Amino acid sequence: MTTAADRLGAWLQGFGAALERGRASEAAACFEEDGHWRDLVSFTWNIATMAGREAITSMLEACLGDTVPSNWQLDGEPTEVDGLVEGWLTFETALGRGRGYVRLRDGRCWTLLTTLQELKGFEEQQGFTRPLGVELGAIKGRVTWQERRRREAAALGFERQPYVVIVGGGQGGIGLGARLKRLGVPAIIVERNARPGDSWRNRYESLTLHDTVWFDHMPYIPFPPHWPVYTPKDQMGDWLEAYTKLMELDYWGGTECRIARYDEDAGEWEVTVERDGSTVVLRPKQLVLATGMSGLPQIPDIPGVEGFEGDLYHSSRYRSGEAYGGKHCIVLGSNNSAHDVCQDLWEHDADVTMIQRSSTTVVRGGRGGVGNYSEAAVARGIDTDTADLLAASMPFALAPAGAIEATKRLRAADADFYARLEASGFLLDFGEDETGIGMKYQRRGSGYYIDVGASELIISGEIKLHTRVSIERIQPRSVVLTDGTELPADLIVFATGFGSMNGWAAQLISQEVADRVGKVWGLGSGTAYDPGPWKGELRNMWKPTRQPGLWFHGGNLAQSRHYSRYVALQLKARLEGLPTTVYGLSEVHHLR
């Protein structure tokens, strides 16, 4: 009787041998006819999913010559459940070492993930190879750690140009900055706010992270075991500030990025920033926009805004309901921010009305932590890297099936809650194809609420609700809805979301460059706000774009953590002049 290890081993031997002999179609034949191969930078120098033998063959024909994959090995013990054999593997390429995950059915590959983990000769110093920290022996003119660090920080951007400038110093920019620091890639993080963590501190008072601690670790320094499940925003601010210091990042706080221009001839950027009241021009080869997964705040164009006598602003500027006790507050929108703002206003005794224009996916927050991001997973020995790779191992095209099942279970478990919420008049959906919150996040990054209290307020009528309407016009002390209803208003909050991230490129670089790279985020699922054609990967995220030297980094904390590894390796390879021929650079079908 053969074991799962026997079968996976046999498959891997055949697959590895085909690759080593350069036989693209032979290797592709190791897959099911419509099998999937997802590659993170190891073969394609891109983030790409090849679906079907034909796509796999094409990729291999293009990439095998440079990649020279070898030394395929099983890693750990494969498992078999209901005929599905799955397990970890390791491999090498000409330039690096990789880790992968494979799923077999009937001896053929259903899904394969391959990832680049490190570049040969440029491994991070850690564990056995960590730095000594002291130069032993007597050395005239010894330079201390502090002095070396001080000089390095003072020179970077002036005597010495950074290879990378990261615009945006939230958790995305900070995590990527940490990876680059460990890889020895000179980088400056430019952030408008004064201190690391301010992007959290400056948000509304009651905010906590919406994802759980197991999902939200930064690279290198995980949260300790007593850290709360949902980190309060100011505590997150403190963590990021400490992290930035301890990772020795070159973080330019209080610095505004004015404009970035790409010099085609020099192959470098000219990035003009205002720092401490003076203008500094940085000349990096690579520019990373890490300005938030959300783009610029979107405010609908509603007549009467200029004449409004109360307070009016986008939800990103909302801080606290403290000033609004007893006041009439109108919140336009029905996603996370809208709910959180409504709840915070209610908690401060405001009179709150939510204007819900279209339906929303709601899931109940709770103790959280299920699956591979949970305390139970920690107890099973599933570390964060492993959880990240397992998450990455399922191609986006295959995600809906599982998401539909999960949504069904959720609807059944919380049937009473959903019934009560719908009875209140709230417009509820579970995604166009019933795939729920996770797919909405990947497709459009919006359209959902993780309930931490506002839904019961809507159910009980404590938060008033108007649905299937918007604000038609604004009067000095009221709003008029599209159904003619007039509501008194002392405060109007536009919880109306954000544009595509390439809005930042338009603002910082040019509309031309923004249009060249096109829409950022979304899979091309053909659902609302995510028009097709199908891409198979998130548009423009963490991978080369059609603008040389321009990268987008971000996502939630888990994505930022995981994909920062691949952004950093791509940048490091370019710094070192390694060949990085990109396979399958995505076409642009949508501009925003």
Instruction: List contacts with its own copies (CB under 8 A).
Output: 124-128, 130-134, 136-142, 144-147, 182, 205-206, 208, 213, 220-221, 224-232, 234-235, 238-239, 242, 245-246, 343, 346-347, 349, 365-367, 375, 378-379, 452-454, 456-457, 462
Instruction: Report the residue number, 52 or 453, with the smaller CB distance to its own copies.
Output: 453
- Nearest distance in Å: CB 216, its own copies: 11
- Nearest distance in Å: CB 456, its own copies: 6
Q: Edge to edge, what strands does the sheet with 311-314 contain?
A: 311-314, 491-494, 328-332, 351-356, 463-467
- Nearest distance in Å: CB 316, its own copies: 18
- Amino acid identity for residue 410 in this structure: L
List residues bridging with 161 in a β-sheet.
none
Instruction: Report the residue number, 186 or 536, with the smaller CB distance to its own copies.
Output: 186
Q: Quick one: which of 581, 553, 576, 551 has its CA closest to 118?
A: 576
- Nearest distance in Å: CB 221, its own copies: 5
DSSP H or E stretch at residue 331? strand 328-332
Question: Are 129 and 50 in contact, with CB atoms under 8 Å apart?
Answer: no
Rounded-to-integer distance, Cα 490 and Cα 492, Å:
7
Q: Quick one: which of 425, 410, 433 has its CA closest to 362?
A: 410
- Nearest distance in Å: CB 345, its own copies: 11
Instruction: Report the residue number, 77 or 483, with the smaller CB distance to its own copies.
Output: 77
- Nearest distance in Å: CB 346, its own copies: 6
Instruction: Report the residue number, 52 or 368, with the smaller CB distance to its own copies.
Output: 368
DSSP-derived pairing of the beta strands 31-40 and 108-119: parallel
Rounded-to-integer distance, Cα 187 and Cα 575, Å:
11
Instruction: Report the residue number, 124 or 311, with the smaller CB distance to its own copies.
Output: 124
Instruction: Report the residue number, 120 or 367, with the smaller CB distance to its own copies.
Output: 367
The residue assigned the tokens 């809507």 is: 458
Instruction: Report the residue number, 365 or 499, with the smaller CB distance to its own copies.
Output: 365
**DSSP letters of 234-285?**
HHHHHHHHHHHHHTT--EETTEEEEEEEEETTTTEEEEEEEETTEEEEE--S
Instruction: Report the residue number, 148 or 477, with the smaller CB distance to its own copies.
Output: 148
Measured CA to CA in angstroms, residue 251 lies from 156, 187, 424, 562 at distances of 11, 9, 48, 21
Instruction: Report the residue number, 211 or 537, with the smaller CB distance to its own copies.
Output: 211
Alpha helices in 42-163, H assignment, sequence order: 53-67, 145-155
- Nearest distance in Å: CB 117, its own copies: 15
DSSP state of 543: S
The tokens of 573 are what?
């390879």
Rounded-to-integer distance, Cα 192 and Cα 252, Å:
8
Instruction: Report the residue number, 270 or 462, with the smaller CB distance to its own copies.
Output: 462
**DSSP letters of 443-497?**
HTS-SEEEESSHHHHHHTTSEEEEES--EEEEETTEEEETTS-EEE-SEEEE---
Question: Are 176 and 553 in contact, with CB atoms under 8 Å apart?
Answer: yes
- Nearest distance in Å: CB 176, its own copies: 16
Backbone φ/ψ region at 369: left (φ over 0), alpha (ψ -120 to 50), beta:
left
- Nearest distance in Å: CB 179, its own copies: 11
Instruction: Report the residue number, 141 or 484, with the smaller CB distance to its own copies.
Output: 141
- Nearest distance in Å: CB 74, its own copies: 20
- Nearest distance in Å: CB 341, its own copies: 13
Write the CB contacts of 303 (distance below 8 Å, at least 6 apart in sequence). 472, 473, 474
